[in-house]
A and B are shown apart, each in its own frame.
Chain A
């Protein structure tokens, strides 16, 4: 089910999942090509400061749908900040963010339905059951329906825990439920901040497969991670942040030369793995 955002020709195509396509959300979507489609995300000289401390400096890039983009970098390099800016949870200090042609945060209302975000914190009510949490968010996104919630729970292997309160679950399962919440409405832009943390091997594979499925259906997945071993196997594109600056984009074009040797070595290894 495809819908062009009407009214402004510059907008990139976004599909809208409806209640009916809950169980076949991947069917019928167009997969934007990196060359002919408008970028789903366009960052222009994006800067974010917390007080006087710069978290992100002068980041520019364009990202298209149908890709898994891994964002690497040391702790405090600005990865999570970048994700929150793309989700509209933070306002940029300088520069522009466009999602599907809409300016964030000014025009955030137009794109909220198409963004899914799962961060470090679990965005769930701990006193509610899994079913209640997901039903609430399904209603919020206008995709009400037990079928959609059940499908999401089944896909992540959570169906048998549906009636348990979130506080009764292990941290790993809570994380899975949060990922289910973020993906419930079949978002075009999926923002995942270290989604594989706290997960066992089986759950990791389930989440990775879910990311691949989303990519294949035309979604853009921004994946913040430290797991360089997984990156080579999964990601279509790699962004490396250092001290808030985008130092490497995709094919290893080095924008700055003073980034740490450990990160450089890691990335070089990943690039070699990818090319192999």
Chain B
């Protein structure tokens, strides 16, 4: 009875989510960072409402980027998760199913972080964050972020200098998608209609990242 690709993805996704919920350390780190970052910026930027709306985009994506980076670094350094990953490597599961399972688990956690941050910042910054276009930008941007993050976590899972290396590599790699997200979400804060080019650019970047990482991941996991 061979396990199907979708079953394998769901198996890894379920395991990763249960692991994160039970161990909690990673979730604590990213949500605590989101709270602290939001409050620090909220007190630091005592600006007028109009200006706040524009600043909040930068604060929002800074919060998501660095909270996620902390989460990926924590994920890569968890001994129990790494040992389990070795056993999963030995199992006859399609490599891409392992990747997509981990990717989906990371994406779901990032989406929870997005929702949490939106709740915090929409109140404190009086910004228009409950906007359909804003959520579209967040979904597409976070997909790109976790695609790179999941790949780098696998790549550096056995390197002890991971903390520095992850930041050095992730930030330049995520920069194009991050800048697109910032411009897109900034456009959602104005009264003008959002141009479709931003959506197309984000979708294109996500597709390129998914294709590249899907090709790269099987090579990374096997040494």
In the bound complex, CA of A144 to CA of B89 (Å):
18
A250 contacts B by Cβ under 8 Å = no
- Residue B195 interfacial (CB < 8 Å): no
Provide the A90-134 mask, 1 if CB < 8 A to any CB of B, else 0. 110000000000000100110011010100011111111000000
Query: Contact at B80–A137, with CB atoms within 8 Å?
Result: no
Asked if B1 and A137 sit within 8 Å, CB to CB, the answer is: no
Q: Give A125 to B12 CA distance when docked, in angstroms.
A: 13
Tell me the bound Cα distance from A144 to B93 in angstroms.
Answer: 14
The reply to whether the CB of A64 lies closer than 8 angstroms to some CB of chain B is no
Contact call B80/A126, Cβ cutoff below 8 A: yes
Instruction: Please tell me which stretch of B15-23, B29-37, B45-53 contacts chain A, meaning at least 4 of its Cβ atoms lie within 8 angstroms of it.
Output: B15-23
Structural contact, A112 and B91, CB atoms closer than 8 A: yes
Contact across chains for A117 and B90 when beta carbons are under 8 A apart: yes
Residue numbers in B under 8 Å from A141 (CB-CB): 91-92
Give the residue of A89, A122, A128 whose beta carbon is less than 8 angstroms from that of B89. Answer: A89
Q: With A and B bound together, what is the CA distance between A141 and B80 in angstroms?
A: 21
Specify which chain B residues have a CB less than 8 angstroms from the CB of A109 in the assembled complex.
92
Q: Per-residue 0/1 for B78-112: is the Cβ within 8 Å of any A Cβ (1 yes, 0 no)? A: 00110110111111110000000000000000000
Bound complex: CA of A89 vs CA of B88, how far in Å? 11
- Which residue on chain B has the smallest CB distance to residue A113? B92
For A121, what are the chain B residues with a Cβ–Cβ distance below 8 Å? 83, 86
Among B19, B87, B223, point to the contact of A137 (Cβ < 8 A): B87
Which residues of A have CB within 8 Å of B86?
89, 121, 123
Chain B interface size band reads: 20 to 34
Q: Is the CB of B93 within 8 A of A140?
A: yes
Bound-state Cα–Cα, A91 to B19, Å:
29
Whether B90 lies near A127 (C-beta < 8 A) is: no
B91 near A127: Cβ-Cβ < 8 Å: no
Of all chain B residues, the one with the shortest Cβ separation from A191 is: B90
- Mask for B47-83, Cβ within 8 A of A = 1, else 0? 0000000000000000000000000000000001101
* Binary flags per residue of A129-160, CB closer than 8 Å to B gives 1, else 0: 00000001101111110000000000000000
Distance (Å) between the CB of B27 and the closest chain A CB?
13
- Distance A112 CA – B92 CA, assembled complex (angstroms): 5
A123 contact from B2, B3, B19, B87, Cβ within 8 A: B87
Docked CA distance A136–B91 (Å): 11
Q: How many Å lie between the Cα of A140 and that of B98 in the bound state?
A: 11
A71 at the interface (CB under 8 A from B): no
Q: Does A181 contact B (CB under 8 A)?
A: yes
B residues within 8 A CB of A89?
A: 86, 89-90
CA distance A113 to B2 in the complex (A): 10
In the complex, which residue of chain A has the Cβ closest to the Cβ of B14?
Answer: A136
B residues 149-168 touching A (CB-CB < 8 Å):
none
**CB of A18 within 8 A of chain B?**
yes
Query: Which residues on the A side are within 8 Å of B22 (C-beta)?
Result: 127-128
Whether A91 pairs with B223 at a CB distance below 8 angstroms is yes
Q: Does A39 contact B (CB under 8 A)?
A: no
Q: A19 — which chain B residues lie within 8 A by C-beta?
A: 1
Contact A181 B2 (CB under 8 A): no
Give the residues in chain A near B88, CB-CB below 8 Å: 140
Name B90's closest neighbour in chain A (CB-CB): A117
Q: Is the CB of B2 within 8 A of A142?
A: yes
Select A87's contact among B8, B81, B84, B90, beta carbons within 8 Å: B90
A186 within 8 Å of B (CB atoms): no
Interface pair A140/B222, CB less than 8 Å apart: no
Q: Is A244 an interface residue (CB 8 A)?
A: no
Beta-carbon contact of B83 and A140 below 8 Å:
no
B114 nearest CB across to chain A (Å): 26
Q: How far is the CA of A141 from the CA of B86 in the complex (A)?
A: 15
Residues of chain A within 8 A of B89, CB atoms compared: 89
Chain B residues contacting A125 (CB-CB under 8 Å) are: 15, 19, 80-81, 84
| CB atoms of A91 and B3 under 8 A apart | no
Take A112-B91, A137-B91 as given contacts and tell me if A142 and B1 are in contact as well, using a CB distance cutoff of 8 Å.
yes
Contacts of B87 in A (CB 8 A): 123-124, 137, 181
List 3 A-B pairs, minimum CB-CB distance, nearest first.
A123-B87, A140-B91, A112-B92
- In the complex, besides A125-B80, A127-B19, A127-B80, 6 extra interface pairs with C-beta distance below 8 angstroms are A123-B90, A124-B84, A125-B81, A128-B18, A136-B15, A139-B11
Residues of B within 8 A of A (CB): 1-3, 7-8, 11, 15, 18-19, 22-23, 80-81, 83-84, 86-93, 222-223
A–B Cβ pairs within 8 angstroms, 13 of them = A18-B1, A89-B89, A89-B90, A123-B90, A124-B83, A125-B15, A127-B22, A137-B91, A139-B3, A139-B7, A139-B11, A140-B91, A181-B87
